[in-house]
Amino acid sequence: MAAEDRDDKREKVYRTPTAGLWTATGLVIGYLVWAVVLSILTESGHLLNNQGFECGNSEESRLTEEAFLVFLWTGMALPICFMLLLNIWIKRTFYKPLSLLAIFVVFVAMTVTFAKTWEKENEEIEAFKDRYLELIPLTDVPGITQSHANDKNCSMLSNVYRWQAEFKCCGLEGYQDWGPVIPDSCLYEGENKSTGCVGAGYSLVYEKPCLPTVLSLVEKRSSTLWTVMITWITIVGVPASMFVFLMVKCCCWVFCEDCCYKLSLWKYKLSGGVEMITVVFIRKDNNNQPEEGNGKDEEERVSCSNGVVVDVEDGAGEEGADVSLDKNAATRIPLSELRRLQEELDPPPVQHQVRCLCISSRKPRSFYTVMIEEGSPLLPAGAVLADANKPTTCVWAEGPHVFSLEDIVWPEESKVINSLPL
């Protein structure tokens, strides 16, 4: 028996495994693995390019910013995946709208941080370019030669010498940057003298300028990282766009429904329609009223071992006992009829205030509760007579705005809680 109870509780809490649920779980876990693997590749240095083009200028600052971007995005992915898994497998949770909202917030944060990092790197590239263009015209200084990239004591001119030797180029924008005195690192060393070289005085020098070549390599050194990050943003952007679509659709629906409702209400009033009031009719002296056929029903019922009463003859069972819960106890009546109830009933109708179940707070609406005897001539035709001790469905709508009255008509402290016998 205990095992069956645990199985019932498990079925109420967790969803039944299906191919769709396993597919969704696989996608979430795959995204989580993607984020973790990228963090590992970043930490090991396989994702970032630490190539430097200036001696004595460390790339540590750039690498730190790029690594921070990857680690930040991975940290944001972990709680999102956890919330999605809860939403996939657990029934009746608030995680679905919260997960979509969280994904949208993460998408915005990823986009902003990516744009800022990209912009900062482009600014550094422009500063790099301007810094070297200020050296023109170049002057060959005796004693200054090309240096290694890890040389801490070097000048910008030493970097130019190194570029000319490494990339087979001359000058920053061309060999003319050197004027009449061209350094040895510009001299052409290839065997094919018909391409890639140009005559300068009595020597052949490299025709290709150095600065465009270096700038191209500087821009490409982070291309792998940017490609990965753009792919990452695209993956997150798919559910984020779904959230935006749903929000826009919801807002448009609320706006259109509200306008249509106000238009129809305006037409109704122009055509002479009376003002309608929401009223909840509650059975008066319900505890003293014997239910019809109660003695006969008791004879037709049999008590099960667990204390649940089951109707044997009509086969309605628990479904038959819950039919009244499907009836809406909120009734709309004309204002004139409400005034008649106020004059003739004792106690008179009681006024209450309720707010709609909306995202934005709206002006509260009034409704009334009326204690009335069953069969009273004052009870409007078609009105549902609710039980004072048995909460039932009690809502009404004005266009897209829904008002729930159950918690006001049946507050928590007055609700009767029926428990099964132990």
Give residue 329's pLDDT.
86
> What does pLDDT average to over the chain?
78
Q: In this structure, are strands 309-311 and 301-303 parallel, antiparallel, or unpaired?
A: antiparallel
Dmax (CA) of the chain: 125
User: What are the backbone angles phi and psi of residue 396, rounded to the nearest 5°?
Assistant: -150, 160
Give residue 33's pLDDT.
93
Q: How confident is the model at residue 349 (pLDDT cuts 50, 70, 90)?
A: very high
Q: Is the dihedral of CA 271, 274, 280, 283 positive or negative?
A: negative
State mean pLDDT over 173-201. Answer: 84
337 by Cβ neighbours in 10 Å (0-12 / 13-18 / 19+) ranks as middle
In a 3-state reduction of DSSP, which class is residue 335? helix
More confident residue, 356 or 68: 68
Q: Which amino acid is at 281?
A: F
User: Could you tell me if 74 and 196 are in contact, meaning their C-beta atoms sit under 8 angstroms apart?
Assistant: no
User: Could you tell me if 103 and 77 are in contact, meaning their C-beta atoms sit under 8 angstroms apart?
Assistant: no
Q: Is the pTM of this model over 0.85?
A: no
| Pick from 149-153, 252-256, 365-369: least confident | 149-153
Q: And the tokens for 146?
A: 């090309």
Give residue 114's pLDDT.
93
Stretch (H or E) spanning 152: none
Other beta carbons within 10 Å of 76: 19
Give residue 57's pLDDT.
59
Distance from C-alpha of 332 to C-alpha of 250, rounded to nearest angstrom? 27
Tens of pLDDT, residues 254-279: 677 777 777 887 887 788 778 888 99
Residue with tokens 């990516």: 114
Tens of pLDDT, residues 391-415: 888 888 877 778 888 888 888 654 4
